[in-house]
Structure 1
Amino acid sequence: MTTQEPLPDPVPLMGCPYKADPYPLYARMREAGPVHRVLFPSGVRAWLVTGYDAAHGALDDERLGKHHDRGNDRWRARASIMPEPQHSRLQVHLLHQDPPAHTRMRRLVTGAFAPRRIERLRPRFRRLADALIDALPEHGPADLVTGFAAPFPFQVLADVIGLPRALAARFDRDWGKVVQPVGPTDPGRPRYEARLHGLQGYIADVVAHKREHGDDDLLGRLVTARDRGELSPEELDSMIFQLLVAGQEPVTNQITTALIALFRNPDQLARLRDEPGLLPRAVEELLRYDSAFELTTWRFFDRDSDLHGTQVPAGDSVIVSLCAANRDPRRFPDPDTLDLGRSPNPHLAFGHGIHFCPGAALARAELRIALETLITRLPGLRPAVADEDLEWIPAVLGRGTHRLPVAYDRRL
């Protein structure tokens, strides 16, 4: 029996091997303890929570706040947060708010994503998915990111929030990269700032359109709430920003991670083809097995505090690894095995507590429809590149691939 070398302090969370498969490192971290100091590519040092029970507790810990004002100077110096004035204008959305502001703002969006409403919209979502399949090459190959996984969630989101067709056609997916901020001296900074300005201008056009037309949809109701004084201008812009960016890119990535997991486990893919009734459980297992939300966003203590036996200074960033929690053998038997029939499956892919993803019902519906449509209409669906040639997105918090080249026998 060999003894592994002790983990470095801090543990670096970066590099292509880590992004391609972070799970061996997460297993070592879980075994060594629930909380570890980690280092991100930006130079930020943070405290990472890895085990299921510790993660569940941290997500529910009222001492941990989300507002960036809680961060200390050490965090702020390296965090590469958005420059001003964009940070103040776009970063006061739900993910960075604490009660009571969080409670007030979340109340305005939950109705649009309610499970009953999403269920009523399923036939429309299916038509959108089928139309995208119709546009793919008859015999392949095809890139499923550009051909399906990217446009499908965006088209669904546009329907759900009331984004007009003309404005939806103008949305540049490249704007979503503003959630991967770069430092002031980075050579990519000018392009990053150009993305910010482009997205800001687009949001202003959305607000102007909704104010002019008075539409009774989510975007229209948010603009009305701003005009009634229930939201500040910054809160309105930030909420639209969050809907447009966080509302579709993670689903794109989750479709790709789910397909890659099935390609790597052909027995489970065959099982899903043979047992379509397994789809609801399969989606939950695919969410657990490799979540697009790998890590949560920052949390902060407002005073020096104990976190599962580790002393964390006030204002240091605390991050929860949802992926590490979802592979904890103390909660999930044989966690590194993809078992589409797994039950129960209390994964944390959508978080937990007051910041539980308000769009979880929509994401689940999208994943079910996407997988069912792809598997039934593209018989023989399989990867068209070697596994090691997949290019994983170097995002800090999420998992996904830039492209997913596939082959299939024919298009039905």
Structure 2
Amino acid sequence: MNPAPFFDPFLAARDGGRYDQYRWFRERAPAAWGRPPQRVFGDALYLFSHHAVTRGLAHPALLQAPETAEYRIIRDALKATPDFRMILAAVLFTDPPAHAVLRRPMSQAMTMASVQPRRAALQARAQSLLDACCRRKHFDLVADFASPYIVGALGDLMGLPLGDPLALKEETARLARALDLQHEDSPCSGHAPAAVALARRVERTLTTTKPHPDGLCMRFLELYEGGNWSREDLVTNLVFLLFAGQETAVDGLGNAVVSLARNPEAWRSLASGQVDSLDATDELLRYDPPLQYAATRIAAEPLTIAGIAIPANTAVVPVLASANRDPEAFPMPETVRLDRRPAASRTFGHGPHVCAGKHVARLEIAVALETVLAYLPPEAIDLDRTVERDLITFRGHRQIPVTPDSSDR
């Protein structure tokens, strides 16, 4: 009998064929054992099929921080690095009932109805940035458009001035690298404590700036001053918003533009208004999501998923990008169909930890795509010179060169 295949996320990302790897494993089994996502874990179970990922994301015994003696040892080891020590207190890495206390004010402030009034301001920001970009012979979509656009939008949402978008992007990119899946030979401790730098930025801004009364920061401050949140809750979750609200949105926007440039008919279909921009955004984020893996879950007790017995304290990793390409959920999943309306997409997760800011991100990216496609033809994107990020969990681009007049190439 052949041994069961063993998944190596580091190899899949390094070879540039991650989607081929996901498909290979998914076609053989809905889940497979593989290399641990962090050095402190033993072998982990990776979930590949849409059904297995969905079940894993919602399973009540798969937790972020189960109260077992064995996992406390693992969590203490993770906390040995400053970035993990801070970020593990954020909403994403907590379990009920504390999770609801932290999540509720975020989700209440970021419903689709509450974010729709931001559309006009987003359009104005996108148009202003692209007006400036298109006066140049060449520009970089990531540095010159996506980053300042998303950082400006995030500042409006939070009700805080965020300063130089490229400086903030550098700090959040360092945190993404520190939180990425770590090879056993990759010393996490070698990274500068990016979360600490972001926390200092937050504390400095809170000291020198009065937040806008309608922003999320003011809502968080009221919870802190009312005794519902600790100071750690306040600072850590502002740091988490700075990180998650910017890294994944910039990556998602860049991936979407590149996917459209590789599919000129889809580009023209969206540019002409034949497809709703939010529907198109959902499909593009399904096709090439910025977050490939969900946060690692830990089995609080022995359980079974996809017919596999999982011992207590085992790390379980739902592969979101694999679920999004499962033909059982999405016919012809490796084809971009902008009118697909992929309601079952797992780009934003599922279950109690589904992304609280998903409606914000969808609208920001949809408005940006409308604007980019109104200003540029698909030939303006220099696909031969794009540079991808060298990360595993986070998929995006460091550079997307643009030549507004393609005859200038």
Q: Normalising by structure 2, what TM-score?
A: 0.88
Question: Which residue is 1:104 aligned to?
Answer: 101
Q: What is the percent sequence identity of the aligned residues?
A: 26
Q: 1:152 aligns with which of 118, 129, 149?
A: 149
Q: Tell me the secondary structure at the aligned position of residue 62 of structure 2.
A: coil
Instruction: For 1:82 and 1:150, locate their aligned partners in 2 and report how far apart those are by CA, in whole Å.
Output: 30
Q: 1:340 aligns with which of 331, 338, 362?
A: 338
2:111 maps to 1:114: yes
Q: Which amino acid aligns with 2:89?
A: V
Question: Which residue is 2:382 aligned to?
Answer: 384
Give runs of aligned pairs for residues 71-86 of structure 1, distance below 5 A. Answer: 72=70, 76=74, 81=78, 83=80
2:121 maps to 1:124: yes
Structure-2 change in CA distance of 1:71 and 1:9 (3 Å): farther
Do 1:38 and 1:46's aligned partners in 2 also have CA atoms closer than 8 Å?
A: yes
Structure-2 change in CA distance of 1:342 and 1:87 (3 Å): closer
2:321 maps to 1:320: no
Do 1:14 and 1:41's aligned partners in 2 also have CA atoms closer than 8 Å?
A: no
Instruction: For 1:322 and 1:41, locate their aligned partners in 2 and report how far apart those are by CA, in whole Å.
Output: 15
Instruction: Tell me how far 1:229 sits from its aligned partner.
Output: 1.6
Instruction: Tell me how far 1:164 sits from its aligned partner.
Output: 2.6
Question: Which residue is 2:24 aligned to?
Answer: 28
RMSD between aligned alpha carbons? 3.1
2:252 maps to 1:254: yes
Q: Which amino acid aligns with 1:126?
A: Q
Gaps of 5+ in 2: none
Instruction: Tell me how far 1:255 sits from its aligned partner.
Output: 0.8
Report which stretch shifted further, 21-30 or 107-116: 107-116
Do 1:262 and 1:269's aligned partners in 2 also have CA atoms closer than 8 Å?
A: yes
Structure-2 change in CA distance of 1:118 and 1:61 (3 Å): same
Instruction: Tell me how far 1:265 sits from its aligned partner.
Output: 1.6
Question: Which residue is 1:197 aligned to?
Answer: 196
Q: Tell me the secondary structure at the aligned position of residue 374 of structure 2.
A: helix
Question: Which residue is 2:205 aligned to?
Answer: 206
Q: Which amino acid aligns with 1:109?
A: M
Do 1:94 and 1:102's aligned partners in 2 also have CA atoms closer than 8 Å?
A: yes
Q: Tell me the secondary structure at the aligned position of residue 150 of structure 1.
A: helix
2:396 maps to 1:400: yes
Q: Tell me the secondary structure at the aligned position of residue 242 of structure 2.
A: helix
Do 2:217 and 2:238's aligned partners in 1 also have CA atoms closer than 8 Å?
A: yes
Report which stretch shifted further, 291-300 or 335-344: 335-344
Structure-2 change in CA distance of 1:278 and 1:197 (3 Å): closer
Do 1:380 and 1:409's aligned partners in 2 also have CA atoms closer than 8 Å?
A: no
Give runs of aligned pairs for residues 342-357 of structure 1, distance below 5 A. Answer: 342-343=340-341, 345-357=343-355
Question: Which residue is 1:14 aligned to?
Answer: 10
Q: Tell me the secondary structure at the aligned position of residue 304 of structure 2.
A: strand
Question: Which residue is 1:374 aligned to?
Answer: 372
Instruction: Tell me how far 1:14 sits from its aligned partner.
Output: 1.7
Instruction: For 2:213 and 2:104, locate their aligned partners in 1 and report how far apart those are by CA, in whole Å.
Output: 19
- Aligned length in residues: 401
Instruction: For 1:384 and 1:80, locate their aligned partners in 2 and report how far apart those are by CA, in whole Å.
Output: 44
Q: Which amino acid aligns with 1:13?
A: P
Instruction: Tell me how far 1:216 sits from its aligned partner.
Output: 4.8
Q: Normalising by structure 1, what TM-score?
A: 0.87
Q: 1:135 aligns with which of 126, 132, 144?
A: 132
Gaps of 5+ in 1: none
Superposed CA deviations along residues 90-122 of structure 1, whole A, max 9, x for unmatched, are: 321111011111111111212321222211111
Superposed CA deviations along residues 156-199 of structure 1, whole A, max 9, x for unmatched, are: 0100111136x566952221122332889867845523x34322
Q: Tell me the secondary structure at the aligned position of residue 256 of structure 1.
A: helix
Instruction: Tell me how far 1:236 sits from its aligned partner.
Output: 1.5
Structure-2 change in CA distance of 1:215 and 1:208 (3 Å): farther
Superposed CA deviations along residues 71-108 of structure 1, whole A, max 9, x for unmatched, are: 9469939x984535654443211110111111111112
Structure-2 change in CA distance of 1:345 and 1:316 (3 Å): same
Structure-2 change in CA distance of 1:187 and 1:321 (3 Å): closer
